[in-house]
Amino acid sequence: MSGAEDAAAAPILELAVDPDGGRPSGLRVLPDGRVESRFGGDSWTEQWRYEAGALAALRRAVADADSPPLDSRYEREGGVSHPTRIVWKLRTPTRSTTVTVEKYAPGLVPPLDRLYQRIYELRPDDGGSSVWRVRVGDRVVERVLNCEPASVPQLTPLVAALFDPGGGADGRAVEGGGKPLVEIEWRTSGRTTERTVVHSDGRNVSVRDGAEHEERRYSAAEVEAIVRAIDAVGWASLPDPVC
């Protein structure tokens, strides 16, 4: 394959997420509109495909994110417990950019935050959904989401507590039993592709293709933050589906 053909086949964007203590993951968008993801050493798996109009809009979003040009490296100041590194690769007809974000936090690089949100805003309506089962006191509440969970204001603190925890610095282990606090079924076109199960003893389990993978265990402080976020949602006021 020639250099020109290589460039034509290269992803429009690709990101690699490497969390300290967790399984690395990746997402990429190919020129034909296919969106693929992978976890750990797994092969790339198609998640959805953009129609022509959405793909054109995403190309514009990629160009906008890098205008003015992004720096090659960003890093949050200060010490961070369990930091996450994200590497972005963006490609437009005139420019290819690689950006490394160390110790990621929302708001550190706003153009990339907006681009990440745009990836999911442009997704086909049947491209992805999730079913959330959450323990509230002694009962389990279930809600269906046909949108990105972080786009629901009531769920934003819970999403942050689950996927961007910041309370692990004390390193305290969790005492007591291990009932599930949160179980999330991630679906693509109605098919469950992965389950995330967070237990009250701090265990964080991902289930994919029938195999369980234990992710980085939450500390006592992180579990407490998850419980507080669950209690603050106001589940009775959320419709079903939520979005």
DSSP structural state of residue 149: G
User: Following DSSP, what letter does each residue of 81-146 receive, concatenated?
Assistant: SS-EEEEEEEEETTEEEEEEEES--TTSSHHHHHHHHHHHHTS-TTS-EEEEEEEETTEEEEEEES
Task: Write down which residue in 121, 153, 180 finishes a domain.
Answer: 121
Does residue 95 lie in a domain region?
Answer: yes
- The whole-number pLDDT of residue 102 equals 92
pLDDT of residue 177: 58
Does residue 216 belong to any structural domain of this protein? yes
* pLDDT of amino acid 64: 92
| Boundary residue ending a domain (63, 87, 121) | 121
Of 217, 227, 205, the residue nearest 171 (C-alpha): 217
Q: How would you write the pLDDT of the chain (243 residues) with one tens digit per residue? A: 444 445 568 999 999 988 776 678 889 999 999 999 887 777 888 888 999 988 999 999 999 999 999 999 999 888 767 788 899 999 988 889 999 999 887 788 999 988 988 887 787 765 578 899 999 988 899 998 888 787 788 888 898 888 777 644 444 545 555 789 999 998 877 788 889 999 999 999 988 877 888 888 889 999 999 999 999 888 887 888 888
Please check whether residues 168 and 224 belong to one and the same domain.
yes
Q: Is the same domain home to 89 and 165?
A: no
State whether 116 and 137 are in the same domain. no
Predicted TM-score (pTM) of the model is: 0.57
102 and 157 within one domain:
no
Q: Is residue 91, in this structure, part of any structural domain at all?
A: yes
Domain-located, residue 55: yes
Query: Is the domain of 80 the same as that of 144?
Result: no
**Residue 142 resides in a domain:** yes
User: Does 69 lie in the same domain as 30?
Assistant: yes
Verify that 26 and 99 share a domain, yes or no: yes
Whether 242 is in a domain gets the answer no
Task: Find the domain containing 63 and state its range.
Answer: 3-121
Q: Are residues 156 and 54 in the same domain?
A: no
**How is residue 181 written in tokens?**
């606090």
The pLDDT of residue 179: 85
Q: Clarify whether residues 108 and 195 are in a common domain.
A: no
